[in-house]
Structure 1
Amino acid sequence: MSHIENEPCSPARFRIIDLFAGPGGLDVAAKALGYEATGIEWDAGACATRRAAGLDTFQGDVRRYRAAFFPHAQVLTGGPPCQTFTVAGHGAGRRALDEVLQYIERLHQAVHPANAQDWTQIFRTWRKISEKLRLRELEAKEVKAEKRTVEELRALKRKALKSRLEQLGISAVDIKSALKKLKSPQSLDEFSDDELTNLLRDYGSLNDQLDKLKDRLEDLGDERTGLVLQPLWWVIERSKRPGSKPYEAVVLEQVPAVMRVWEEYAKVLASLGYRTGTQLMHTEAFGVPQTRRRAVLMARLDPAAAGNALRPDCLPKVKETHERYQPGGRQPRAGQADPLPFDTKKKADDEPETWVSMEKALKKARAIQPALPRRPAFTVISNYGTGGVPEARGRRDHDVPSATITGKVSRNRVVEKDTGEDLDRFTPAEAGVLQTFPVKYPWSGNDVSQQIGNAVPPRLALHVLRHVLEPDLSQAEAKTRLKEAAARLESWKKPERPLQIRQHGWWEGHPLTGK
């Protein structure tokens, strides 16, 4: 069932399985292009939104599902939730990245044609990795529970310390100052009182316990390590499991820090017979009224590529359609001369358009949904600091793209540009529009701001899906396809009835399961 008017007949009716599907950014884009998408998502709030939007969904942990459950899926997409990876230093982020890359290399060695391992051997490698991660996750849960208990005890000790200081007649100002020093309890020796001394000793002991538990959790790693490996295993399973057919295409996206992971993924996919490409994409360069960067992995099945590492003829980059935003004013693109003040030269067909501002996006959405707030010229003041200074809040005016929409978008202040007077903060509909969701998208469930902030911008997904799934279109045909799909996306209407969410095991009657 589709809820996008005048759904087109796409060049090939691919069926997509979307892992970690969120509220549906990629899925609603796929529908605008005429493809069928089924998402797997565990978050109840995101599933509520998907249900209201009529998006086909299985609810649950991706790790409980397998590629074999959906034999008729032809395309794999997804954005696994990833811990913060770092490529420098020796902290937890660097260790997490190293660990993930080691697991990917083990899987690569298992599937590489030069090693000639059969499916049983390949699966054994995956099972060993999965079991190790599972046991560590169970241990981490126990440590986290112990940590919560210690934190609760420490909070009680803190209250007891405050109460004892009050009994000793210490002023409120001195008590406040003393409590700030509790990270170094020995600094409170100025108060000579046996009961207070015992409380401080106990408090210090609890602090030491917490430090050890934090170190243990850091050593155990992050449960998301296993999640970031899931898409790779799904591709391997479909490529190597007897009786399975490889996916025709793969599209994965995440924050820029994950690019190193995608680059290693690409090597494995090349060994499995895919032409691959990675790209750091600036969302405003694809018509999204927001500056945001995403690391994207793209792959298309090409049996001639099997056995090679990254090939020189890897997938080409997705062509940018808009200029990138340069804070402080429009800047000429590399290789272009400065524009003349009154240049009336007609823009070439392949010349990028100017980025889309918040004002333009919201005005266009208001034409579709008149109930959207009418705003004077405004400035958005971020909930985040800049340059490492919490007090230096980032600011963006209405006539430029938004800063990155995060899960804290509802905390951003919106003020009148000229007077600084507070205006209403962005509604979910407005925040969704800045993420290029349809203005009538039915945001539902809990923590809507987080849903919006975590979502793939549908407009970006349009470009990537079109590029990977329709590589043979001419430039003119591709431009027309994108224009028509973008129009369908903007005019999207909520379905009359929600679509029931499926649970694990409810395979009957689903087009991807064949049951």
Structure 2
Amino acid sequence: MIVDLFAGPGGLDVGATQLGLEVNGIERDPSACETRRAAGLGTVEGDVRDFGPADFPEATDLAGSPPCQPYSVGGKGRGRAALDTVLQLAGRLAERHSIRAELGGFDDERTGLVLEPLRWTLAAKDSGRPFQTVVLEQVSTVLPVWEAFAGILRAEGYSVATGRLSAEEYGVPQTRVRAFLMASLAREVRFPEPTHQRYRRGAARGQVELGLLPWVSMAEALGWGMTDRPALTVAVGTAAGGPDPSCVGGSGSRATLYGERDAGRWITDTRLTSVGLRAYRGGRRDVIRVSVQDAARLQTFPAGHPFRGTETKQYEQIGNAVPCLLAEHVFAAAFGLARPEVVASAA
């Protein structure tokens, strides 16, 4: 069984369960916990810092996607500013020193949460019941932390791979780049091979390497929107320090959407009067909004995934999640399982 730290609404966990893996997730946000329970996902409501491997004796593997807001380029950057301190604390954990006192010194308490997966992994190792597989995800700027973890875990006997993966290379209809760490005591780990072409602006779609499918466009996934490119990264809500995904990101994202629409590389949403695209007259142009259901689709959640809470909380859950299809590919590689079936479109 996998114990998933900072489990959210289940992005990682849906990917794992698609492969037949069992997951129990720790999450402290009540709305995300309601979502998980409604989806039938194992859920422990609480703070990851209050638990450890001894509380989950049945867990053989670890996953985690710590809060990204302190490290995100869309946030205030407190985590990025404290990166050197985080790396020093990782070294102290490797030496089996307590860092609890130092964690209280961060301006944003979420900054130090990125160290929790390392604490759990080392504690499990010291208990004589080490996690066989570890899978971690974060925004790209956290890659130096994963690389530091990699050095520590290799010294503990793990095979480790770190790097950045771009979601559209695995059939996700979204250009989302994230940093991953995969570690295993049971096998030599390698990142999953891409199944789809990487999106590059101006590059002709379909001119791809042998065996790769074209990236999936926003319009193919939703039935409306941009026809010549995937959607932009679905970001987290304003309450978490980033752009509101109901408008598909900030000003740069809006400019891309409007530019594609004005250029005719666009399919209009026929559900304009219900859900999906909503147009509000304001200023010189309409505001393009994406419904909760469509934002979830761009993150490759299964149709009907039962998001709970206010609309804002649902957007936050979706924006913070790992795309389910990308998670499935990563878990398949980490556990040595057959990769997900490759399809030509997410529609």
- Please indicate the TM-score interval, normalised by the length of the shorter structure: 0.7 to 0.9
Q: 2:203 aligns with which of 314, 329, 340?
A: 329
Q: Distance in 2 between matches of 1:251 and 1:24?
A: 14
1:73-472 alignment to 2 at 5 Å? 73-82=59-68, 84-85=70-71, 93=79, 95-108=81-94, 110=95, 122=96, 125-126=97-98, 129-134=99-104, 136=105, 220-241=106-127, 244-301=128-185, 315-330=189-204, 348=210, 351-363=211-223, 375=224, 378=225, 397-407=226-236, 408-412=244-248, 418=264, 423-424=277-278, 425-446=289-310, 447-470=313-336
Q: 1:69 aligns with which of 55, 60, 66?
A: 55
Q: Distance in 2 between matches of 1:402 and 1:420?
A: 13
Unmatched 5+ residue regions in structure 1? 1-14, 111-121, 137-219, 304-313, 333-337, 340-346, 364-374, 379-396, 492-515
C-alpha contact 2:78 2:111 (8 A) present in aligned 1: no
- Residues 331 and 456 from structure 1, CA distance in 2 versus in 1: closer, same or farther, beyond 3 angstroms? same
SS at match of 1:298: strand
CA offset digits 1:21-69 (Å, max 9, x no partner): 0100111111111011000001111112112111110011111111110
In the other structure, the counterpart of 2:240 is none
The normalised TM-score by structure 2 is: 0.80
Shift of 1:94: 5.1
Q: Distance in 2 between matches of 1:430 and 1:240?
A: 44
- Residues 75 and 93 from structure 1, CA distance in 2 versus in 1: closer, same or farther, beyond 3 angstroms? closer
Q: Distance in 2 between matches of 1:400 and 1:104?
A: 39
Shift of 1:429: 1.1
Aligned residues: 306
In the other structure, the counterpart of 2:26 is 40
- Residues 132 and 93 from structure 1, CA distance in 2 versus in 1: closer, same or farther, beyond 3 angstroms? closer
Q: Distance in 1 between matches of 2:11 and 2:44?
A: 16
SS at match of 1:50: helix
Which letter does structure 2 place at the counterpart of 1:277?
A
Which letter does structure 1 place at the counterpart of 2:230?
P
Which letter does structure 1 place at the counterpart of 2:137?
E
Larger RCO, structure (CA 8 Å, separation 6 or more)? 1
Q: Distance in 1 between matches of 2:330 and 2:184?
A: 12
In the other structure, the counterpart of 1:21 is 7
The normalised TM-score by structure 1 is: 0.55
C-alpha contact 1:83 1:222 (8 A) present in aligned 2: no
- Residues 54 and 331 from structure 1, CA distance in 2 versus in 1: closer, same or farther, beyond 3 angstroms? closer
C-alpha contact 1:266 1:276 (8 A) present in aligned 2: yes
C-alpha contact 2:192 2:333 (8 A) present in aligned 1: yes
Larger Rg: 1
Shift of 1:223: 1.0
CA offset digits 1:282-313 (Å, max 9, x no partner): 0000100000101000000159xxxxxxxxxx
Q: Distance in 2 between matches of 1:272 and 1:30?
A: 25
SS at match of 1:355: coil
Which letter does structure 2 place at the counterpart of 1:318?
P
Q: Distance in 1 between matches of 2:184 and 2:233?
A: 30
In the other structure, the counterpart of 2:341 is 483
Q: Distance in 2 between matches of 1:460 and 1:92?
A: 28
Q: Distance in 2 between matches of 1:353 and 1:438?
A: 21
Which letter does structure 2 place at the counterpart of 1:442?
P
1:493-508 alignment to 2 at 5 Å? none
- Residues 460 and 92 from structure 1, CA distance in 2 versus in 1: closer, same or farther, beyond 3 angstroms? closer
